[in-house]
Amino acid sequence: MGSVLEYRCPACAFASGRLSVGWGKAGRAAFWGGLALCPACQEVCVVDLADVRPDQRDHRCERCKGLLKLLEGMSERVKCPQCATPLRQVPLGSWA
């Protein structure tokens, strides 16, 4: 079962939007959502770690096309892209 979460800033109105991480009933081979961060624009997103196509090995930011950094689980601290305050992770539920 996967988790649905959102990163929110306690200092400003920034929110990442719903992020689906982990995998569902179909297993990791179908979809494996991993958290990633774009160091250039500070975008927090989810990448499909199950996608092993050669053109998908280097995960890129949809906004700026920069190379994404995979986050260690859900415990790594992420700064707000608007004010640099550490974001808070808010669990929103789960998905299967």
User: What are the tens digits of pLDDT across the range 77-95?
Assistant: 889 999 999 999 999 999 8
Residues 6+ apart with CB under 8 A from 43: 37, 61, 62, 63, 64, 81
| In the block, residue with structure tokens 């859900």 | 74
Q: Give yes or no for a contact between 87 and 76, defined as CB atoms under 8 angstroms apart.
A: no
pLDDT band at residue 27 under the 50/70/90 scheme: confident
Q: What is the pLDDT of residues 35-57, one digit of tens each?
A: 999 999 988 999 999 887 777 67
Angstrom distance (rounded) from CA 71 to CA 86: 15
Whole-model pTM?
0.84
Domain ranges (residues) in the chain: 2-95
